[in-house]
Amino acid sequence: MNNDYLESVKKQFEYYKMLGEKTFAQLTDEQLFLQINEESNSIATIVKHLWGNMLSRWTDFLTSDGEKEWRNRDAEFENDIVDRAGLLAKWNEGWACLFHTLSSLTESDLSKEIYIRNQGHTVTEAINRQLAHYPYHVGQMVFLGKFFCNQNWTSLSIPKGDSKAFNAGKFAKPKQKQHFTNELLNKK
């Protein structure tokens, strides 16, 4: 059961990483850095925040508090990434840290207690916390991508009006057990 959990979590994180990357691919460099009002964040700023959070949470995951002393969370919201290459470097560095740590975890680690800002979490709870946090922000990026692209947006899920055909294709196949992200991640 727990090994299934770790594999499922990795696939879920891979799925949200893919959604972010498919959003970046549809946008111009200018759109990645566009802040639609003073209270909003650009996609680049969201990436910078995710990067800072990932490095803080997943570095020395089992042995130190998830809110590292060296993290400057407030600076994550300063829109100072200068180009697509810098954005992608931070994006990839954060995800690499997360996946490296997830790959090192074992079933016996899941019930261990770790801390985030001095609050105790089981490893499972800490993973679930991040599995809620990161999709929240990826969803913001996808929303902005759809806003900027408007009618030129290529859907990242079932396009509007295609649900019936999509479901017909699914139900035409025999039942099988697989993680829902398998075919999506294989289409990269």
Residue spans of the domains in the chain: they are 2-155
> Using CA of residue 88, residue 89, residue 94, residue 100, what is the dihedral sign?
positive
Q: Does residue 20 contact residue 116 with C-beta atoms inside 8 Å?
A: no
Q: What is the pLDDT of residue 2?
A: 53
Q: So what's the pLDDT on residue 176?
A: 83
Region of 173 on the Ramachandran plot (φ > 0 left; ψ -120 to 50 alpha; else beta): beta
Q: Across the 188 residues of the chain, what is the mean pLDDT of every consecutive 10-residue run? A: 83 97 98 95 98 98 97 94 97 98 97 98 98 98 98 92 89 84 69
Tokens 């295609």 sit on residue: 162
In CATH terms, 2-155 corresponds, of 3.90.550.10, 1.20.120.450, 2.40.220.10, 3.40.640.10, to 1.20.120.450
- The Cα–Cα gap between 132 and 113 comes to 19
At 187 the pLDDT is: 64
Strand ranges (DSSP E) for the chain? 113-116, 119-122
Give me the pLDDT at residue 59, please: 98
